[in-house]
Structure 1
């Protein structure tokens, strides 16, 4: 509950500033979430409607819940590796981080149900399960990267489910969901080396995979033709798709190349941050390829805003 301007009260004793809450949930990084849903919805034939907007709200809440839960679960490790974070620094009690995660999870599921009924929960429930399983047990295992990739894959499919019957949604949303999933897998694999640095082969491999992802995304036939795609101008669609794919490589690819040359922890962290925000141009390219270049352009405009905000609050 809000206690006074800029502060929130949790229970009878914990008062937390809005700035610390924003840092806990990596607030600006949530700008990478709406594009998942929009790319899936565009592939299914309708990039924006009230159900899509409700699904976006649900996914943002679940993303923020995952960030808070991550800091709850990693409090002991962060005390050594990232003592400046809100939980290990003592600015936010650990139990409060768990309460924030639980409250945001409930909000996310509620929004999904309100926006799209049972079909909304068909996407939100698996997404919730993957987020909590990753943070509470799978993160440090071999299944960690695949779990996080699956979460982003489901997020894209939730957008398709918001606009089309289940069978159609899963079929049409499969390609963008897979490409976002592949990106997330490379990003999560790279993030394992944020503190101590990585063997050169790790950023070299993720760079090769993300380059292939950009090339596949830029192909004009990567997504099935929908009514939205048929009505869009082919030249504009191609131009925005190519621009998004190039912007993706120019940010995430360049940061990974720097990590290949010098795979220090600092360079790996920069590459991971670039990869989180690099989702926006990738999502823009997928949305344009599906036939919604105007909506894709909005995602592209959000990318520099997200990068600017990331200078104030780290997305990692």
Structure 2
């Protein structure tokens, strides 16, 4: 049965919703809260799980709202997307965005007042980006702020202080700023400027990540320090390797297909970056769990685009 008759009878199209919500990108979300908890030197617990669930809901709310806000542009440039193709009604996408936002805020409230305090501006940033800021010079900065707030949500929910998590939030936000800047040219021919800047940003982050973050608490044993450094270096290399070649190809030929590949690689590289952020604070188990999400995300991305 075609998508149009299924929609006419009110039957949901799972494939269309997977495309609308860009499900493979979901695997880039749990690492935010986990890296935040690690940076705050707090052990993940039930509240961390609630923060992750809240982040997932707010992230997907942004995805649904993004297509609702872009439905006219997508009709001209990407008519295969779920809304312009008629597989999902615009009202359903908007309703999903509202419901997911409410659920995300409720889950953050369950994690405690500090988490709710972070989740409210996070939700406001997501909605502001999709509805007002996306096509303005402030757009990439709003997206970067959302990622940084998401990491701080994990720190706040787990009971750690926000100050120790600020350096990790800044590094994650910087990567997101670079990827979002590149994504502004993924539907039309652009210039090499954005991917060149993204390459330079990756190099700077790869240099900063292995450096020891500000220490809180007693100094670790020398053996643990060496292990932490080795793990962080390996994860940093994985982060850089994920994006270096796609960014370089986009520099040499900033066409929409290669730019979209670069954006997809930048989104996937968020996972090893989150893992490196956790490892540099000594949370080795958290780092390994986070990076294990990368092959799963890559596998799902072969079926559903993350851009």
Tell me the TM-score normalized by structure 1: 0.91
Report 1:247-258 matches (<5 A): 247-258=238-249
Counterpart among 93, 100, 104 of residue 96 in structure 2:
100
Tell me the TM-score normalized by structure 2: 0.94
Q: Is the contact between residue 127 and residue 151 of structure 1 (CA under 8 Å) also seen in structure 2?
A: yes
5+ residue gaps in structure 2? 1-5
1:72-116 deviation per Cα after TM superposition (whole angstroms, max 9, x unaligned): 000000011111111110000000000111111111011111122
Counterpart among 138, 141, 146 of residue 151 in structure 1:
146
For 1:232 and 1:151, how far apart are their aligned partners in 2? 36
Q: Is the contact between residue 285 and residue 296 of structure 1 (CA under 8 Å) also seen in structure 2?
A: yes
**Pairing 1:122–2:95 present:** no
Residues 1:224 and 1:146: Cα distance change in structure 2 (over 3 Å): same
- What is the root-mean-square deviation of aligned Cα atoms in Å? 2.0
Residues 1:53 and 1:204: Cα distance change in structure 2 (over 3 Å): same
Shift of 1:136: 0.6
Q: Is the contact between residue 32 and residue 276 of structure 1 (CA under 8 Å) also seen in structure 2?
A: yes
For 1:232 and 1:129, how far apart are their aligned partners in 2? 44
Q: Which residue of 2 aligns with 1:187?
A: 179
Counterpart among 224, 239, 244 of residue 230 in structure 2:
239
Q: Which residue of 1 aligns with 2:280?
A: 289
Q: Which residue of 2 aligns with 1:5?
A: none
Q: Which residue of 1 aligns with 2:3?
A: none
Shift of 1:229: 6.1
Counterpart among 152, 166, 181 of residue 174 in structure 1:
166
Shift of 1:47: 4.1
Alignment size in residue pairs: 302
Report 1:1-316 matches (<5 A): 14-116=10-112, 118-164=113-159, 169-219=161-211, 221-226=212-217, 233-316=224-307
Residues 1:248 and 1:120: Cα distance change in structure 2 (over 3 Å): same
